[in-house]
């Protein structure tokens, strides 16, 4: 029993440890939808974890700065042994002053009453919290957009692979038919050789699309903070790309809705507070204090702590800055210039947002036109292919014409998917430019 227990204990420990690690790192469920991916990313993406940590760090910085309003209590102590005592001459005689061994322990409490630095810390706390909240919100918005684009990119690639597989299936049937016709002497060998070439090209395209899909899954894993070697299973059920492309193009851009605009406004408020702080530096600093000291002295070290001679006091300390070489004036002017610069940053951002929205809207409308055209071409290509296939089977059309129709069909189908993905991406860009992408929608 002892022998078995000796080897069972490490296995049991490993099992418990593995279970706790698995519980601390929840995995993404199988057949994950877009909403599942976004929810997982908002919980696990490294950028968001860093933003949350920055927010917690900011709270500690605020608490540290505001702690100055609480009483500050300090203790100082010293012990000294005089090798030679100072003397004073009284009546022609040198008299030693003091005793050889001395020690003192002093406790002092200070309470700030007037302090420009603490005034600034109190006023700035809400702006620092707002800054950290906006940083988290900005990271969430970028995460939602990135995950959505990656998901639709994979969905497009999956559809492309389906189209290529359908194309391969058709080409394999055509190769079989062409080979049979050649063997019975109805056609020469060029038809089935062309079919073989087309089939080889289709299989090469499938290989490229499959490799490309692997990269896109790896990119999605990097966004989700999932190890590359882990498997991710996505669900595309009830995910109609066409149903998600419509957008109200009459909606006007509201610059104030953009999180970037709010971030610069927040910096502007902080800078205004910094200017006020530089003006507060003309104020005096006023502190209340109380101290208590214990003093021991004796010529013999063994008797040093036999007798305590205490001392204590309370009072106010006032520090009035009178002249500092013009430093405070220069700091005020510098802070005012920084306010003006931030105001220009705000104006520049407004122009950038307007240009970004205009570019996104132009791209969306152009991609919509491309998508409508591609959809029409795909439907026409299907009709043409079906007609020529019937005519080829009847011996009216040549195999070359059938291959041309097959190529046109595949090209139009792929163009349709690419244009549809482009519409979805440009729609996301518009929503981001409008500031309507939030964690709630």
- DSSP for 111-136 reads EEEE-HHHHHHHHHHHHHHHHHHHHH
Mean predicted lDDT score pLDDT of the chain: 87
Question: Which residue matches tokens 């010293």?
Answer: 78
At which residue do the structure tokens 């299907």 appear?
Answer: 382
Closest CA to 245 of 3, 78, 431: 431
Count helices and strands in the chain by DSSP H and E runs: 8, 6
With a cut of 80, say whether residue 181 has pLDDT above it: no
pLDDT 10s digits, 94-147: 788 888 899 999 999 999 999 999 999 999 999 999 999 999 999 999 999 999
Residues 150-178, mean pLDDT to the nearest whole number? 89
Q: Give the residue among 237, 177, 166, 173 at the shortest CA–CA distance from 205.
A: 166
Looking at the DSSP bridge assignments, the partners of residue 72 are 110
250 three-class SS: coil
* Lowest mean pLDDT across 9-13, 157-161, 247-251: 9-13
Helix 116-183 × helix 46-66 angle, to 10°: 180
β-pair type (72-81, 101-114): antiparallel
Per-residue pLDDT averaged across 370-399, rounded? 90
| Cα 411 versus chain centre, distance | 38
Q: What length is written for the chain?
A: 441
- The arithmetic mean of pLDDT across residues 244-262, rounded, is 85
- Whether 90 has a pLDDT exceeding 60, the answer reads yes
Could you identify the residue written with the tokens 């099992």? 15
Q: How confident is the model at residue 253 (pLDDT cuts 50, 70, 90)?
A: confident
Name the CATH topology of 72-114+285-319. Outer membrane efflux proteins (OEP) (2.20.200)
Q: DSSP characters for 183-217?
A: HTTSS-THHHHHHHHHHHHHHHHHHHHHHHHHHHH
Residues 140/192, Cβ–Cβ less than 8 Å: no
Greater confidence, 399 or 262? 262
The model's pTM: 0.80
Under 8 Å CB-to-CB from 307, ≥6 apart: which residues?
296, 298
- pLDDT mean over 49-66: 94
Nearest by Cα to 97 from 309, 297, 306: 297
Which range among 102-111, 173-182, 239-248 has the greatest average pLDDT?
102-111
pLDDT at 7: 44
Beta bridge partners of 293: 106, 311
Instruction: From 210, 199, 216, select the one nearest 161 (Cα to Cα).
Output: 210
Query: What is the distance between the alpha carbons of residues 46 and 149, in angstroms, rounded to a whole number?
Result: 18
The ranges assigned to domains in the chain are 27-70+115-284+324-434, 72-114+285-319
Confidence category of residue 23, pLDDT binned at 50, 70, 90: very low
pLDDT of residue 348: 95
Q: Band of the pLDDT at 12, cuts 50, 70, 90?
A: very low
Q: Which residue matches tokens 């920084």?
A: 338
Topology of the domain covering 27-70+115-284+324-434: Outer membrane efflux proteins (OEP) (1.20.1600)
Residue 184 has pLDDT above 80, yes or no: no
Assign 398 a pLDDT band (cuts: 50, 70, 90): confident
Helix (H) or strand (E) holding 294: strand 285-298
Is the Cβ–Cβ distance between 108 and 27 less than 8 Å?
no
DSSP letter assigned to residue 32: B
Tokens 């010529």 identify what position? Answer: 299
The structure tokens listed for 241 are 């790309």
Which one is predicted more confidently, 24 or 370? 370
User: Which residue carries 């408020």 as its tokens?
Assistant: 269
Tokens standing for residue 342 = 């931030």
Residue 251 vs residue 222, higher pLDDT: 222
Residues 135-156: tens digit of each pLDDT: 999 999 999 999 999 999 999 9
């Amino acid at each position: 029993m002892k022998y078995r227990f000796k080897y069972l204990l490490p296995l049991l420990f490993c099992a418990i440890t593995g279970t706790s690690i698995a519980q601390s790192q929840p995995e993404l469920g199988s057949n994950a939808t877009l909403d599942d991916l976004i929810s997982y990313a908002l919980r696990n993406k490294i950028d968001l974890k860093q933003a949350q940590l920055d927010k917690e760090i900011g709270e500690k910085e605020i608490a540290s700065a505001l702690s100055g309003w609480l009483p500050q209590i300090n203790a100082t102590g010293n012990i000294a042994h005089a090798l030679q005592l100072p003397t004073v001459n009284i009546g022609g005689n040198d008299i030693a002053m003091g005793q050889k061994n001395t020690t003192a322990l002093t406790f002092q409490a200070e309470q700030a009453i007037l302090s420009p630095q603490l005034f600034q810390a109190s006023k700035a706390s809400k702006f620092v919290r707002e800054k950290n909240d906006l940083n988290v919100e900005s990271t969430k918005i970028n995460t939602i957009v990135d995950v959505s684009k990656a998901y639709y990119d994979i969905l497009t690639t999956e559809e492309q692979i389906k189209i290529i597989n359908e194309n391969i299936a058709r080409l394999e049937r055509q190769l079989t038919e062409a080979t049979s016709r050649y063997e019975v002497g109805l056609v020469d060998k060029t038809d089935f050789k062309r079919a073989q070439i087309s089939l080889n090209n289709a299989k090469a395209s499938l290989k490229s699309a499959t490799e490309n899909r692997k990269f896109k899954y790896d990119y999605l894993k990097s966004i989700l903070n999932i190890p590359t070697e882990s498997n991710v299973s996505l669900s595309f059920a009830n995910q109609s790309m066409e149903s998600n492309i419509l957008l109200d193009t009459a909606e006007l851009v509201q610059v104030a809705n953009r999180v970037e605009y709010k971030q610069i406004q927040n910096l502007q408020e902080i800078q205004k507070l910094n200017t006020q702080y530089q003006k507060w530096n003309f104020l005096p600093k006023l502190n209340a204090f109380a101290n208590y000291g214990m003093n021991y002295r004796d010529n013999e070290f063994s008797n040093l702590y036999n007798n305590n001679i205490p001392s204590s006091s309370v009072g106010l300390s006032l520090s009035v800055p009178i002249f500092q070489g013009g430093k405070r004036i220069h700091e005020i002017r510098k802070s005012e210039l920084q306010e003006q610069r931030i105001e220009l940053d705000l104006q520049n951002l407004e122009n950038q947002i307007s240009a970004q929205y205009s570019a996104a809207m132009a791209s969306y409308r152009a991609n919509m036109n491309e998508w409508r055209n591609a959809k029409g071409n795909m439907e026409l290509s299907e009709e043409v292919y079906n007609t020529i296939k019937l005519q080829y089977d009847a011996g009216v059309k040549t195999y070359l014409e059938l291959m041309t129709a097959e190529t046109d069909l595949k090209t139009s189908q792929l163009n349709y998917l690419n244009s549809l993905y482009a519409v979805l991406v440009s729609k996301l860009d518009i929503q981001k430019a409008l500031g309507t992408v939030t964690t709630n929608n």
